[in-house]
Amino acid sequence: MADRSRRPDLAAMIAPLLRELIAAEEPVLAAHGISMWGYVVLVALDGSSVRTQAALAAAIGADKTRIIRDLDELQERGLIERTPDPDDRRVRLLAITDAGRALKNAVQDEIQRGEEHWLSELSADERKTFLRALGRLSAGDRRRAARGRNGDTT
Amino acid sequence: MADRSRRPDLAAMIAPLLRELIAAEEPVLAAHGISMWGYVVLVALDGSSVRTQAALAAAIGADKTRIIRDLDELQERGLIERTPDPDDRRVRLLAITDAGRALKNAVQDEIQRGEEHWLSELSADERKTFLRALGRLSAGDRRRAARGRNGDTT
DNA sequence: TATTGTTATACTCTATAACTATA
DNA sequence: TATAGTTATAGAGTATAACAATA
């Protein structure tokens, strides 16, 4: 018999929720002709001080080899710029363009409007505490992850 | 310039957290010689009234074809039973064994002890509200998902 | 004809290794 | 010798299609 005193594993509660959130994002991304990784890249470049491709890969938890196609495409569409670093010509400095930021903001607005659908199941207090707690746990992630890397994001 | 009034997307906050939770589970699962899907199957069979393979696949969000190997292995190890349904001989009725339940409980205990590491970042109030809100959102998943299927879990 | 469980195939991701150009 | 970026290859994981047995 199942033990009612057990709570579900955190991962088991979160995984299906994430699956639905991603499924809801896909049509929005498709409508704007951008991939999930492409969107993640734009968000990372807009919000942080990430400059090099290696730092970007680390920041978004991707392998440095698997974001190159996305960077190529984003650059071809004029959504990001890749300029050689004069101080170290191995490095290519990344920057989001105005067009890239506009696209990212449009996509993000739509996605967050869709997420209200989920958050509306919570009371105002629950919502506030939930988002804060989630941010805390997520921030813990970043702190732990940062320790394993070189600590700098440029 | 980044707009500070934007909150991160829910998916963007949850995804890295889930990745870490899964990474923390893997050594536990490996120590008990069971795969992630195998564990998910045991949890589903222990806690609900799922009986057929098709219902199980739907319940855990997997394709019916991709759980067969796991079911084979779980059965070989005596952790589940697969018996033909006398009422419909196409169907094989699934049931967790005592050994399966014992393994599942042992793994679950270890996993949840590990999760305290994350939850300890929250205050008692935050923790309570967070888990309740997460359960609510996750329950919403199940309601929405159930509507898309046949409504019965047997 | 539809459905359960199964197998085989193809496809999509991802990780690994190897290469270049710089340092 | 080590590192940033790149490319090519191989592997894992997944979805799709087709099959046999039964309804």
Encode pLDDT of A26-75 as tens digits. Answer: 999 999 999 999 999 999 999 889 999 999 999 999 999 999 999 999 99
Does nucleic acid strand C have an atom less than 7 angstroms from the CB of A89?
A: yes
Q: How far is B72 from chain A (nearest CA, A)?
A: 23
pLDDT score at A6 = 79
Give me the residue from A18, A108, A112 closest to B14, CB to CB. Answer: A18
Considering the domain A17-148 in this protein, what is its CATH number? 1.10.10.10
Encode pLDDT of A110-140 as tens digits. Answer: 999 999 989 999 999 999 999 999 999 986 6
Domain boundaries of chain A, sorted by first residue: 17-148
CA–C1' span, A85 to D15, in Å?
43
How many beta-carbon contacts under 8 Å exist across A and B? Answer: 138
Q: Which residue is nearest to nucleotide C20 (CA to C1')?
A: A90
Q: Please write down the HEC assignment for all residues of chain A.
A: CCCCCCCCCHHHHHHHHHHHHHHHHHHHHHHCCCCHHHHHHHHHHHHCCCCCHHHHHHHCCCCHHHCHHHHHHHHHCCCEEEEEECCEEEEEEEEECHHHHHHHHHHHHHHHHHHHHHHCCCCHHHHHHHHHHHHHHHHHHHHHHHHHCCCCCC
Give me the residue from B9, B115, B142 closest to A10, CB to CB. Answer: B115
Check residues A117 and B145 and name the one with the higher pLDDT.
A117
